[in-house]
Structure formats: structure tokens, C-alpha cells
């Protein structure tokens, strides 16, 4: 099987109304392409958590996904407050979410750990008051 | 076991997705934290929750869950119902608590 696809999605911060829709669209698109379900599951979790992070914390952000025959590369760039302490942000249970976000069942400090668990390769860089960049690679096993 | 059978046995009220109840339920998952459900629910699970807003629909859709049960008499928000109908996610409601739904479902499935 040979997969080739790329697309960018712009996400507005603070808009919980459509939260998850980009991830659902990506999942359906990849499903139609015939991406194996275990890979789909990991992509769905990684894109969903990234999307929720943009909506929860940033002014806006872009999710870029590229599917090649070997792997799926997801780049996320946001215009947000940045992360002061990356080590803390990557720790399960740590969150800076406000009460409103928590009441909806977000902000449990599981987002980034979930993304890491679904990635074969993960990098997070951030600059305070500028934004955060994530690069997620999920390998497609062909056997 | 079919969702229709579970809905009948546990006397769930069907809020939407009546035409989708012939799908199989593989098990259940209880959770009000969306990231927890994203990480740990399994395909075909019936999701038991007290969250009623529209974001539950995307989670259920992304994880291929069989449906959502809202507990303790909670009603889905109008936009949640609308989204669920579009996405094909059954939403059911009950007066029972999460604990009771999980217990009864566990017995039914074992």
C-alpha cells in the first residue's frame, strides 16, 4: 500500500463548539485511505489532544498532517502563551487549565502524555509569549 | 451483545441514534475526563459519563465507541444531540448512577 496525503487545518483558540472536528475529519480521511486501525487510533488521539490544547490555551494554531508510505508526520504550531516549564507540561497530571475547561472534562494533565504514548517520535519546543510547536511522527508498519 | 438489548434490559431512554442500536457492544468504559476516555476506551465500548456537552460526540466518533450513556438523569445539550445525529453516535440516558450502570452492564456482558 502506498499512502500520500497532506493537509493543513487552522484552529481558532477558545472555540470549544467545534472542538474535535478537525481530528474527526483527519481520522475519516485516513480511514478512507486504508490506514490500519491501530495507526488510526494513535493519529486520532495525537490530533485530538493537539486540537484541544490549541483551543484551550492558544489564540490560534495550525495542524499540518502529512502521510507518506512510511509514516505520518503531524506538525502543530500555535500562537499562544508558550510553555514555561516543558518538563512539567510533559508530566502526567500537570495542567494549567482553568475551572471552566476542567468542568468540561478537559485539563486533566493527560494531553501531552497521551500524545507521547501515541508517537514513535515526539518533539516539543516552546517560547514563552510566542507559541508552542509539536512534531509527532507515527510510523506505518507495512507487515 | 447488541446495544438494543442492553438499552432494553437497563431501561435506557434513547435520545438519538435509534436506528443504530443493532451495533455490538464490546464492553463499557466509565469516565468524565475526555483525555482519559480518548486514551483508554476501546472500540465498541459503551461510554458511561456525566458529561453532556457536544464535545463527547467527537470523542465517541474518534474512538469508534458504540454509544454514550448519560447517567443520573442528565440530558444531552441540544447541540450534542444534533452532532450525535450527524456523526451517528447513539445517546441514551438513565436515572442510574455510573456505578450502577457499570455493574449492571458488567453482569449483562459476562
Nearest to B110 by CA among B26, B10, B9: B26
Q: Which residues of A touch B53 (CB under 8 A)?
A: 16, 104
**pLDDT tens sequence across B26-83:** 999 999 999 999 999 999 999 999 999 999 999 999 999 999 999 999 999 999 999 9
Neighbours of A36 (CB within 10 A): 13
Alpha helices in chain B (DSSP H): 3-9, 34-40, 55-62, 78-87, 98-109
Q: Chains A and B: how many Cβ contacts under 8 Å?
A: 64
Q: How many helices (H) and strands (E) does chain A have?
A: 5, 5
In this prediction, residue B91 has a pLDDT band, given cuts at 50, 70 and 90, of very high
Number of domains chain B contains: 1
Q: B26 is in which domain, residue-wise?
A: 3-109
Taking the CA of residue A53 and the nearest CA in chain B, the distance in Å comes to 11
CATH of the domain at B104: 3.40.1390.20
A19, A24, A110 member nearest B36 (Cβ): A110
pLDDT (mean) for B5-17: 98
pLDDT of residue B110 exceeding 70, the answer is yes
CA distance A39 to B30: 24
Grid coordinates belonging to B3: 446495544
Three state DSSP letters for A96-137? CCCHHHHHCCCCCCCHHHHHHHHCCEEEEEEECCCEEEEEEE
- A23 in B contact zone (CB under 8 Å): yes
CATH of the domain at A124: 3.30.565.10
The CA–CA distances, whole Å, from B15 to B67, B76, B90 equal 11, 8, 7
Q: Which residues of A touch B33 (CB under 8 A)?
A: 105-106, 108, 110
Mean pLDDT in runs of 10 for chain A (143 residues)? 88 94 97 95 97 96 96 97 93 93 93 96 96 97 62
Is A124 exposed, middle or buried, given 0-12, 13-18 or 19+ CB atoms closer than 10 A? middle
Q: A73 is in which domain, residue-wise?
A: 5-139
Is B44 exposed, middle or buried, given 0-12, 13-18 or 19+ CB atoms closer than 10 A? middle
Largest Cα–Cα separation, chain B: 35
CA distance A86 to B99: 37
- Candidates A21, A105, A119, partner chain B, best to mutate (most B CBs within 10 A): A105
8 Å CB contact of A49 and B38: yes
- B55 in A contact zone (CB under 8 Å): yes
pLDDT of residue A141: 77
Q: What angle is formed at CA B34 by the lines to CA B38 and CA A30, rounded to 5 degrees?
A: 40
Smallest CA–CA distance from B53 into chain A, residue: A104
pLDDT of residue A40: 96
pLDDT of residue B86: 96
pLDDT of residue A1: 57
Q: Which residues of A touch B35 (CB under 8 A)?
A: 49, 52, 106, 108, 110-111, 114
- B66 in A contact zone (CB under 8 Å): no
CA distance A129 to A99: 22
Number of domains chain A contains: 1
Taking the CA of residue B73 and the nearest CA in chain A, the distance in Å comes to 18
Residue with cell 469516565: B31
- B42 in A contact zone (CB under 8 Å): no
Smallest CA–CA distance from B52 into chain A, residue: A104
Smallest CA–CA distance from B43 into chain A, residue: A41
Which residues, listed in sequence order, are joined to residue A135 by a DSSP beta bridge? Answer: A75, A123
Q: Do residues A13 and A54 lie in contact, with contact meaning Cβ atoms separated by under 8 Å?
A: yes
- B54 in A contact zone (CB under 8 Å): yes
Q: What is the pTM of this model?
A: 0.94
Amino acid at each position: 500500500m502506498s499512502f500520500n496525503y497532506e493537509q493543513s487545518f487552522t484552529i481558532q483558540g477558545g472555540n470549544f463548539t467545534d472542538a474535535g472536528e478537525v481530528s474527526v475529519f483527519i481520522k475519516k480521511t485516513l480511514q478512507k485511505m486504508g490506514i490500519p486501525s491501530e495507526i488510526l487510533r494513535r493519529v486520532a488521539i495525537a490530533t485530538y489532544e493537539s486540537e484541544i490544547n490549541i483551543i484551550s490555551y492558544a489564540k490560534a494554531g495550525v495542524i499540518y498532517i502529512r502521510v507518506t508510505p512510511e509514516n505520518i508526520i503531524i506538525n502543530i504550531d500555535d500562537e499562544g502563551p508558550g510553555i514555561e516549564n516543558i518538563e512539567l507540561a510533559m508530566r502526567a497530571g500537570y495542567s494549567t487549565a482553568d475551572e471552566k475547561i476542567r468542568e468540561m472534562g478537559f485539563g486533566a494533565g493527560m494531553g501531552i502524555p497521551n500524545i507521547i504514548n501515541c508517537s514513535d517520535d515526539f518533539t516539543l519546543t516552546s517560547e514563552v509569549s510566542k507559541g508552542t510547536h509539536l512534531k509527532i511522527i507515527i510510523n506505518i508498519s507495512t507487515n | 451483545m447488541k446495544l438494543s438489548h442492553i438499552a432494553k434490559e437497563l431501561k435506557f431512554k434513547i435520545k438519538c441514534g435509534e436506528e443504530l442500536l443493532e451495533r455490538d457492544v464490546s464492553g463499557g468504559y466509565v469516565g468524565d475526563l475526555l483525555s482519559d476516555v480518548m486514551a483508554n476506551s476501546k472500540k465498541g465500548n459503551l461510554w458511561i459519563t456525566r458529561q453532556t456537552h457536544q464535545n463527547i460526540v467527537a470523542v465517541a466518533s474518534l474512538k469508534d465507541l458504540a454509544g454514550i450513556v448519560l447517567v443520573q438523569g442528565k440530558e444531552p445539550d441540544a447541540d450534542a444531540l444534533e452532532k450525535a445525529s450527524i456523526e451517528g453516535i447513539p445517546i441514551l440516558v438513565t436515572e442510574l448512577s455510573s456505578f450502577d450502570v457499570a455493574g449492571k452492564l458488567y453482569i449483562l456482558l459476562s
